[in-house]
Structure 1
C-alpha cells in the first residue's frame, strides 16, 4: 500500500463562527472520502467538540485536518492545537467537569465517537487527536503521523513525503526540493514518483533511481528509511539535510546523511543499518524544523500517538522560514 503525501489542512479557531466552519469542512472531507451520512455526522460532531474545546480552554488555536488513505477505505484525522497552559486529562474526560464554564461533555464525547483518541498536555499547551474510520472498516490504525505545512500557506510545497507498507515492512521518504514553491514541488514529486515504483529496492539503487528522475529539476535533499519487521532492523539512506532520529523513552540517536544534492551531484548513498529497533520511534523532518528538539523535555510524549508527536514538534519548533515536514512512525512489526 502506498500513501502519497499531502499538506496538513489548518483551520484557525479564534472566534465562534469558525467552529461551524470547521464542522462543515470536516464533514465535507469525510463525505469526499466515502463516509456515509452517519459516519460523516460523527466527524462533524467531533470537529465541533474539538474546535469548541480550543476556544473555551485556550481562547484561540487551530484545527488540523487530513484524510487517511487505507486499503479499501479511508479515515479522517483531526488535531486540536493550542498554546495555552494545558489541563488535567483525567478530570477533563470526566463528564460534568469543565475548565470553560460549560457542561463539560466535550472530551468524553470525542473519546467515545473516535476510533483513536489521544492527547498531550503540559505548560506549553495541548494537542488532542481524533481519528475516525467508517463503521465497516475493521483494519487496525496505522501508527504514523505527519505534520506538513508550506511556507506562507502556498498551495505548492517543496517538501514531499511518501509511505509504502508491505506486510510488516514499511518504507518512508522525505524529499525537500531546493527552495520552495512550484519548482521545488516539481523536484520533490519527481523523486516521489521514482520512489513509489520500488520503495523496497536496495538503498543505493533506489537513491540512483530518484537522482535520475530528478535530473533537470532543482534537485533536493532526500532521505528514506526501510523498516524490516521480521528482521527487526532499519536501513536509512540520506543525501542532504533531512534530519532523522531513532527515539525511545530514554535515548535518541541521530541517523547520518551524506552531503550532496539529489538530481545534481552526490557520492554513492551508502545506507546505515540499525538492528533491534522494534519499539522505537522513527522521526524524520525537513530543515523547516529546528533540530534542537528533545522529546525528553516533554515527559510522556514519547508514549503518545505518532500524530500527536509530529504536531507537538511542528507547533514548538517550526522555523517559519521554509516548508516544513515532520513524519513520525512507530516501529512495530504489526503494520498490515
Structure 2
C-alpha cells in the first residue's frame, strides 16, 4: 500500500522553498514529484532582517509566517498537479512535513532564567497551511528536542541513516546548506550515529557574493576560483570559538552572519572581493575537512547534498583536503542533492504520524528519543 508524504524545506540559505512528494511504501523511498519556488528579493530581505532584532518584529514575523505558508501551499499544489495523471490526489497524501523558516536558533540552556531552556524559532503558519491545502501538516520539529536538552539540530542524521547507511562501511554525509552539517554513519550499525553543524556552509559565501556582485550566489564557485585564499584572514575567521567546540553542537545565522564577517574584515579593506570569496570558500571547506578528520577519518565515502553540492570549487577543496576518501554528491546514490532535506522532513512527518522518534540523541544531545513535531489535522 502506497505511503505518500510531502516534505517542504526552506533553509538557512533563504533562497526559497523546496518540496518533494515521496512514496515510502517500498524498501527504498521514491521521489514522485519535486518543485521549488524562489523567494522574491523583497521577502528575502525581510527574512534576513528578522534574523536579528528589528522594529515591530512580532507583527512582521507573523505576516512572514503567513507568506511562507502561502508559498508552501503553492509548492504542494504544484507537486499534486505533477502526479494528478497517475491518480494521486490530496486524499492520498498522509501528511505534509513543513520545516518553516529559521530566524532564531538559541538552543543552549540559559542558567539565569527560571526555565533554563534554550529555544528555536521557525516562521510558519501550519494551521493556515492545513486550511490552504486540506492536508494534515506536521511542523515545529525542533522544539521538542531542545526541550529535552538537545540542540534541536541537526535532525537529518536519522534520515541519512535510513537512506545512506551501508553495512560494514563508515559513510559520512555532508549537507551544504546555509550552514554545513555532517552525519557520521558507523560501519557497525549498533554504534551511535554522530551528527552536528560544522559551521557556515553557503551563508557567508552567498552574503558576500550578493553584497559585492549583486548575484545571489557564486555560481559553481567561479568567482572564488578566480581569487586567492588570504591566510591571515582565514586564521582570523577560524579563530571563532565555535569551531573548537566538541559536539553535540549547532549554529546558524545568529552567529555566522554578514555582520560577523564585517567585524572580521577590519584590517582587510584593500583585499580584492574575489580573494575574500576564496577565503570564505576555504573557511567552509576547511571546517568540514577538520570535522571529518576528527570524527570520521575511517570513512570511505563523503556524500554531499544541499545547494553547496553544485559549487564545484568547494567540492574541489573538500576533495583536496580529504584525499583518503571519495567525495561524491547524493545524486550518484539515487537521491538528488536538492531533494535530500525536503525528503528528510517528509520522513520526519511520517515518523510523527506513526508515533516514532525522529531525533537521534547521539547527534543532538537530547535526553532521549522523542517524537518530533506538532500535528495539525486536515
TM-score normalised according to structure 2 size: 0.25
Query: Per chain length, whose mean CA-contact separation is higher, i.e. which structure has more relative contact order (CA < 8 Å, sep 6+)?
Result: 2
TM-score normalised according to structure 1 size: 0.27
Higher helix share: 2
